[in-house]
Every structure is written in C-alpha cells, then in structure tokens.
Chain A
Amino acid sequence: EPEVTQTPSHQVTQMGQEVILRCVPISNHLYFYWYRQILGQKVEFLVSFYNNEISEKSEIFDDQFSVERPDGSNFTLKIRSTKLEDSAMYFCASGGGFDNEQFFGPGTRLTVL
C-alpha cells in the first residue's frame, strides 16, 4: 500500500543552523502539506502546496520557512535559521484531491539545541 515517507526520522541541530526535512508523498497525489506538533500539543498546519506553488500558509510559516518540490517525487521543508521553539515533530501529508483525506508520513522529530 502506498505511503508517505519522511527523512530523517530525527534531526538534531544547533540554533541558527539551517535544516531541510524531506518527504516523498504518495505518487499520484496532487496536494502536499506540512504540519507540526510540539510535544504534547495538537497538530498545527504550516503550509499547503499544489500545482508547484504554495496554496496556503499559516501565521507560523514565516520567512524562515520555505517549501520546494525539486523533482517529481520529493517535497521539502527548509528552515533557514532554526530557533529553540522550532523543536517539534514535523509531519508531511499528501492528498489526492482538494478535500480528500490527507495521509501523513511518520514524521521527523526536530530538536534544536
């Protein structure tokens, strides 16, 4: 069964460093998302991506964040200069249609020291 994959599973970085989180969405899906979950809290939307551009972003998704679909399979989230408060689990998701169910990857746990 097709699934969303994410790498790495855990990333530790120093404050101020850049990180790139990688995702491979389900191959025939057209809508891609990043969400994050701070430990013990609810899941929060960051950004959605469709037709090679950002379709929506939240107030969390400031200039430090960017997304890219560099080829036909990968979908990346870059944080340019990490802060302590960026420590969270980052989930990638993909969906086959605008209001279809979103399937989530296993997440990348980002720890900023």
Chain B
Amino acid sequence: AQKVTQAQTEISVVEKEDVTLDCVYETRDTTYYLFWYKQPPSGELVFLIRRNSFDEQNEISGRYSWNFQKSTSSFNFTITASQVVDSAVYFCALPKETSGSRLTFGEGTQLTVNP
C-alpha cells in the first residue's frame, strides 16, 4: 500500500529564511500524481500543487518551489524568503495505488515563521 512520510513534525524559522519541507513516498505505481496542501490556522485545506511523476523538472511558483526526485521517491517543498503568513501545516499527499483517486496524506509539517 502507498505511504507518505513527512518526517519533520515541526519547523520554526525566522521571517525571510528559506525553509524546505520534506516528503518521501512509497507507491507501486509507475505513474502517479503527487500533491501538496496547506492548512493555515483557520483550518481549511488549500491546494498548492499537483505534479505528474513523468515530469521531474522543478516547479516554481513565486516564493514556492518543488523538487521532485523519482529516484529517491521524494517531493520536497521549499519556501524562499518565508513570511509570517506562511505559518501553517503543510501536507503532502498521494492517490491510492492502481487507479485510485482517494488521497493518502502524510502526517503534516507544522511550519511556524516568526517575525
């Protein structure tokens, strides 16, 4: 069965620091998607990115970037020049193996950005 591991339970940084959130996954599928979601203190889940395993190019969106490495089964998320508003729990997620759409979430990483 698939598995998503976010080993960092909590990370605390000072504003303007760069921070990387790790995500390691296990799946028997040869093609799959990976997702990141943000859960701010208000509690909603905000979609950040969906990435196809075919595409190992880094993805950049403003201060956010994602590094996908199929060889190490990792899909890490970096926030450059962090801001207080980035404080949230970040979840990495993977769909069910073999044509499933249900998402398996990691345990999440609580990021706190201090002023």
Contact = CB atoms under 8 A, between A and B. Distances in A.
A43 B95 contact: no
B107 interface: yes
A48 B101 contact: yes
Interface residues on A, range: 20 to 34
Interface string A47-80: 0100000011010000000000000000000000
Interface in A88-102: 89, 91, 93, 95, 98-102
Contacts of A43: 45, 91, 93, 103, 105
B101 A104 contact: no
Contacts of B95: 99
Nearest to A103: B47
B44 A107 contact: yes
Contact of A102 (B42, B96, B103, B104): B103
Contacts of B100: 56
11 contacts: A35-B103, A42-B106, A43-B103, A48-B102, A55-B101, A58-B102, A101-B50, A102-B101, A104-B45, A104-B46, A106-B42
Interface of B: 33, 35, 37, 42-47, 50, 91, 93, 95-96, 99-108
Given A99-B33, A102-B47, A102-B103, 6 more contacts: A42-B105, A45-B104, A91-B45, A101-B35, A106-B44, A107-B43
Interface of A: 31, 33, 35, 41-45, 48, 55-56, 58, 89, 91, 93, 95, 98-107, 109
